[in-house]
Amino acid sequence: MKTLGWLFDLYPLRDRMVLWFITCSGERLRLEDDFPYCLYLGGPQARLRSLARGLGQRGWLRRAYPSQGQDLWTGREIPVVALEVKAYDFLPRLRKYLGALTGEVACYNCDIDIAAYYLYVRRYWPCAWYEVEAKDGRVLHLEAQEDPFAVEFDVPPLATLTLGLTRDPLIPLGAGNGLAVGWEGRSLELEAPDRPGLVRELAQWLKRANPDLVLSDWGDEEIIPTLTRWSREYDEPLPLDREVRPAPRRFSGGRSYFSYGRIVYQGSSAPFYGRWHLDRRNSFYYRESGLKGLIQIARIGQMPLQQAARSSPGTLITSMQLARAVADGILIPWRKAEPEHFKTAGELLTIDKGGLTFMPPPGLHTHVAEVDFASMYPTIMTIHNISPETVNCSCCLGATRVRSQGLGVSKNVTPPPPSVPMPARAPALHLNVRADSVGAQRAVLLERESPGKDLGATTPPTHPSPRRGGFETRPYNPWASPCPPVPEADYRLCHRREGLVPKTLRPILALREQLKARAKEVQVEDAAQYKERQTALKWMLVTCFGYLGYKNARFGRIEAHEAVTAYGRDKLLAAKEIFEDAGFTVLHGLTDCLWVQKPGPTDTGGTGVSPVLRRPDVQESPRSHFREKKIPPAPLFLRGVQSPPLKKGDLGGFEVFPTKHTNTPNDPLKANRYELELEDLCAKVSGATGVKLALEGVYRWIYFMFSKQDPNRPVATRYFGVFEDGSLKVRGLACRRRDTPPFVRRAQEAMLQKLTEAVTPEELARLKPELEEMAEGFRQSLREGGLNPQDLVITRVLSQKVEEYKVDTPTALAARQLEAAGIPIQPGEKVRYVHREGKKGPKECRVQAAPFIETLDGYDTQLYLELLDRAVEEILLPFQH
Amino acid sequence: MGRTVLPYSHVWEEERSRWLKFRRALRKEDQVHLDRLFELARLHLQAGVYASNPWPLESILLSMLLEHQKALSSLERRLHSLEEPESGVRT
């Protein structure tokens, strides 16, 4: 039988894989495929033979045979013994046995997820179309009909049933909470007299609708575990799966763990067999990028969709790396035994750091441009071939080191002049990178240097060429010279093999660029799906860098992580230098973006400027206002007197920094010219660094905030501004914080929206009375009461167990209320509450925890007024100087 | 990152607290200026990070000096313009 089918769901069952297809005629097709899980052992041959014999006698293996594979770290082929496991149930026992082995035996491909391993080995991608050849319910052959990295893909219509709770998820099912079902655009609450009745009711719905996708809210944590338990207790069948005899369902009950200094809670999961169950509340990817984004990442991550939905971006990027490794015949080490190499204190000091952070001059600035490097870190890994196995690799150890050819390192070194032609037969790695994604994925090593060859012969001639400011704008070509060492760190990077990480990232980067471009081409309503998918990829790219430096990551290595940040700093400074050479001043810089400003034409050498001003060392920098503060300000400002009616050119108490004679953004022609100049410079930086620098936009005005601790101190990450097109950019304000109650957040957002009306600082100054009026309005509605309690809810994360709280913080009080009501709450879970009375009131009345606020009779007006005032103050900051 | 080597802003903080005894013995009107000096050094944290000098006080002192040089230049210019307004230098 041959048919066209879309690989929908797959899961391991005993000793084979079960695959579900949706055929082009709409049929749901279940097929089985025989797939023995195969792992490998390396070490002394005699030892391996006896080991394989012993395992065979235990009855765990289907067969064992000698094989070979590539070692990740050296790239050499090594002999191994392959073990095929009889049934998947034996895997845990086998792993336990192998884990107890000491020394000499190395285990490979031991702990890969079975379904994902099947996809890697067979090179199948879920959620893609295949020509399916099958016989007697068994897969004979699958022929892929599309490229997993294609920009366009079709999804067959999926029958979708929604499932949710009728009230707050903290209220247990059957004890005040009900079940809501949605089908074909209608939704209704299931009515049942008792627990078995509710199970029966849902079972009927599942039978009648036979959905492909059950989209739930709180399904993983609450609905499915509870209903499964009841189904067992009352012996009421609940056909959650299409599979007749699925593996038994177990619920772990979630866990709390520590990550980046914060405690995080991960709920249990309840996937279905033969249909999909997605919990919108338990899927990072669904939240961020919708179903299309989810399908996209399941495809390229080669992971069954239900698993992909519940995993973090890190798990997905690791899955792609594993797939790459399996496809390339690389053996995947089980327990990573690559310790960090020893470094001297000096080396550690130089390289153990992250991106560069400038301190912006606080205050209002006009005509500032923001430029961002696109996907800086992933691009760096790709163009410089940074991967755990390529940093200080053993295969290039004998190669001649050409020191300090890194870009922009201000050492007195001599880079090859740009005119030096490449040797006809270049020795270094060549990448055949085509623009299309398939080609990009197949970037191959065209030529390898034979190991004995003397690389020194190809050392570029060293002509002294003076460097200005430590930077030279030559076209970027990381492969132009053998082993350009990493700036600052001076690590070597492999030039014989392309690393696993760059190989994995290259197609993602290419696809993301294509999706971004497509989103711009098509109609607004069609653009959404491309944006969703693009966002999904973004998260994978963002995470892949962190995983390089994460000790538990499979392909992590701290040196690779350091190399990436070192290149990042180097490139940011290179961009800074190019902009400064073009007469811009750099106001602010953050890892991969810069805020630059061009002082007016008279400042850069127009008429009537003294030579003194042109001398760069004394040219006024934007930071000079720190000093200017000491110069007595005008008496009007000193006494904080209200400004008189504004005259033309009067800034009405605004602190405005240097752009004295800028071409104003009001002039479209000049503004356009300004943007063109910026675009030109961006292109120049992109060419010089190898990473695309894009103009994020020009701000009409931007306000960099002061530190909360010290009003004279600048801070890097708190600012707000309005772009030329009227869009806002806000960072570090109350409305961006999770613990800001919705009422205060909305008040601040409304005021920010008001600010977008102003084009010039003068117009901005004129908005002050209106803003104050708005603030008073919000205060008034707080005082009057009658607000929806949900608008006053403060959300915080429980950072420890409830009983460990020693001080009666509002969070602790709220958590205790929940516990008292029989609702257990784990560290890392969110607690939501409303402040009821001030600190003087009795403990139990101070706050009211979230599910019990529907009948709230009052709130702590004073506290909410304070919160509101704090938010208002942030907005009014530009008016206060 | 940030575990073995202290972030530079913490180094700055440490350096400042190292001089707290020095500060305590200063007259109150002088303490203000010492505080200001340290604040000025904060403006160039990124340079200190990038240079990663094993003796952070050197970077801190240099940053303070830098701000002084800027102040000096600006005052010179102002003075110059006041003494010779016809020279056309803006203040």
Name residue A180's beta-bridge partners: A164, A189
Q: What is the pLDDT of residue A668?
A: 64
| Cβ pair A356:B46 closer than 8 A | yes
Q: Indicate if the pLDDT at residue A296 is higher than 60.
A: yes
Confidence of residue A173 (pLDDT cuts 50, 70, 90): confident
Distance of CA A841 to the CA centre of its chain: 43
- Complex ipTM > 0.85: no
Q: What is the pLDDT of residue A477?
A: 52
| B2, B45, B88: residue with CB nearest A608 | B88
Q: Indicate if the pLDDT at residue A445 is higher than 80.
A: no
| B4, B50, B80: residue with CB nearest A352 | B4
Rounded CA separation A407/A478 (Å): 9
Name residue A571's beta-bridge partners: none
Q: Indicate if the pLDDT at residue A140 is higher than 80.
A: yes
- Give the type of residue at B60: I
Q: What is the pLDDT of residue A482?
A: 54
What six digits make up the tokens of A238? 């609940």
Which residues of chain A does B77 touch, with a Cβ-Cβ cutoff of 8 Å?
612, 618
Q: What is the mean predicted confidence (pLDDT) over A626-646?
A: 31
> Which of A286-290, A618-622, A658-662 has the highest average model confidence (pLDDT)?
A286-290
Q: What is the mean predicted confidence (pLDDT) over A49-70?
A: 92
Q: Indicate if the pLDDT at residue A474 is higher than 60.
A: no
Q: What is the mean predicted confidence (pLDDT) over A613-627?
A: 35
| Cβ pair B89:A624 closer than 8 A | no
Which residues have C-beta within 8 Å of that of residue A136, sequence separation ≥ 6?
none
Nearest chain B Cα distance for residue A605, angstroms? 13
Angle in degrees, 0-180, between the axes of helices A768-784 and A861-876, rounded to the nearest 10: 170
Q: What is the pLDDT of residue A446?
A: 31
Widest distance between CA atoms in chain A? 96
The pLDDT tens digits for A502-522 are: 999 999 999 999 999 999 898
Q: E-assigned strands of A803-873? A: 830-835, 847-849
| Cβ pair A357:B49 closer than 8 A | yes
DSSP secondary structure of B16-82: HHHTHHHHHTS-HHHHHHHHHHHHHHHTTHHHHHHH--SSHHHHHHHHHHHHHHHHHHHHHHHHHHH
| A356, A618, A628: residue with CB nearest B73 | A618
Q: What is the pLDDT of residue A314?
A: 84
Mapped onto helix, strand or coil, the DSSP state of residue A34 is strand
Counted residue by residue, chain A has a size of 881
Alpha carbon of A555 to those of A39, A290, A322, A550: distances in Å? 18, 28, 9, 9
| A356, A610, A710: residue with CB nearest B50 | A356
What six digits make up the tokens of A587? 């106001």
What six digits make up the tokens of A697? 């936009």
The pLDDT tens digits for B61-77 are: 999 999 999 999 999 99
| Cβ pair A710:B39 closer than 8 A | yes
The pLDDT tens digits for A663-688 are: 444 556 667 889 999 999 999 999 99
Q: What is the mean predicted confidence (pLDDT) over A119-130?
A: 95
| Residue A622 DSSP symbol | G
Q: Indicate if the pLDDT at residue A639 is higher than 50.
A: no
Rounded CA separation A376/A539 (Å): 13
Q: Provide the number of CB pairs (under 8 Å) joining chain A to chain B.
A: 73
Residue A231 CB neighbour total at 10 angstroms: 21
Higher pLDDT, B84 or A409: B84
Confidence of residue A853 (pLDDT cuts 50, 70, 90): confident
Q: What is the mean predicted confidence (pLDDT) over A419-430?
A: 37
Which residues of chain A does B50 touch, with a Cβ-Cβ cutoff of 8 Å?
356, 569, 573
Alpha carbon of A762 to those of A165, A656, A874: distances in Å? 52, 10, 19
Confidence of residue A182 (pLDDT cuts 50, 70, 90): very high
Q: Indicate if the pLDDT at residue A172 is higher than 70.
A: yes
Interface test with B, best of A585, A590, A618 (most B CBs within 10 A): A618
> Which of A448-457, A537-546, A872-881, B62-71 has the highest average model confidence (pLDDT)?
B62-71
Which one, of A206, A220, A218, lies nearest residue A159 by Cα?
A206
Q: What is the mean predicted confidence (pLDDT) over A84-93?
A: 92
Q: Indicate if the pLDDT at residue A456 is higher than 50.
A: no
Residue linked to tokens 């810089």: A589
| B39, B46, B87: residue with CB nearest A358 | B46
Which residues have C-beta within 8 Å of that of residue A698, sequence separation ≥ 6?
A367, A368, A369, A370, A665, A671, A674, A675, A678, A723, A724
What six digits make up the tokens of B9? 């802003």
Which one, of A397, A263, A332, lies nearest residue A120 by Cα?
A332
Rounded CA separation A366/A761 (Å): 8
| Cβ pair A589:B50 closer than 8 A | no
Residue ranges of chain B whose CB lies within 8 Å of a chain A CB: 1-2, 4-5, 7-8, 39-40, 42-46, 49-50, 52, 54, 67, 70-71, 73-74, 77, 80, 87-90
Q: What is the pLDDT of residue A261?
A: 66
Which residues of chain B does A359 touch, with a Cβ-Cβ cutoff of 8 Å?
42-46
Which one, of A174, A238, A235, lies nearest residue A204 by Cα?
A238
Sign of the alpha-carbon torsion through A133, A139, A143, A145: positive
Interface test with A, best of B11, B50, B55 (most A CBs within 10 A): B50
Phi-psi region of A822 (alpha: psi -120 to 50; beta: other; left: phi over 0): left
Nearest chain A Cα distance for residue B25, angstroms? 23
Question: By CA distance, what is B2's nearest residue in A?
Answer: A353
Nearest chain A Cα distance for residue B14, angstroms? 16
Nearest chain A Cα distance for residue B81, angstroms? 11
Residue A447 CB neighbour total at 10 angstroms: 12
The pLDDT tens digits for A214-256 are: 999 989 988 999 999 999 999 999 999 999 877 777 776 677 7
Q: What is the pLDDT of residue A656?
A: 41
Mean pLDDT across chain A, nearest whole number?
80
Higher pLDDT, A656 or A16: A16
Question: By CA distance, what is B43's nearest residue in A?
Answer: A359
| A549, A627, A710: residue with CB nearest B71 | A627
| Cβ pair B88:A613 closer than 8 A | no
Q: What is the pLDDT of residue A419?
A: 38
Q: What is the pLDDT of residue A647?
A: 39
Interface test with B, best of A343, A349, A631 (most B CBs within 10 A): A349
Q: What is the pLDDT of residue A880?
A: 74
| Percent of chain A with pLDDT strictly greater than 90 | 48
Q: What is the pLDDT of residue A621?
A: 40
Q: Indicate if the pLDDT at residue B8 is higher than 90.
A: no
Residue ranges of chain A whose CB lies within 8 Å of a chain B CB: 345-346, 348-350, 352-354, 356-359, 549, 561-562, 565, 569, 573, 589, 608, 610, 612-613, 617-618, 620-621, 623-624, 626-628, 710, 712-714
Q: What is the mean predicted confidence (pLDDT) over A195-209?
A: 92
Nearest chain A Cα distance for residue B89, angstroms? 6
Q: Indicate if the pLDDT at residue A431 is higher than 50.
A: no
> Using H for helix, E for strand and C for coil, what is the string for A459-528?
CCCCCCCCCECCECCCCCCCCCCCCCCCCCCCCCECCCCCCHHHHHHHHHHHHHHHHHHHHHHCCHHHHH
Rounded CA separation A94/A39 (Å): 10
Q: What is the mean predicted confidence (pLDDT) over A727-750?
A: 92
Q: What is the mean predicted confidence (pLDDT) over A628-648?
A: 32
Q: What is the pLDDT of residue A744?
A: 95
Q: Indicate if the pLDDT at residue A609 is higher than 50.
A: no
Q: Indicate if the pLDDT at residue A353 is higher than 50.
A: yes
> What does the angle CA A820 – CA A826 – CA A828 come to, to the nearest 5 degrees?
135
Residue A401 CB neighbour total at 10 angstroms: 17
Interface test with B, best of A343, A359, A629, A704 (most B CBs within 10 A): A359
Q: What is the pLDDT of residue A555?
A: 84
What six digits make up the tokens of A483? 């082993």
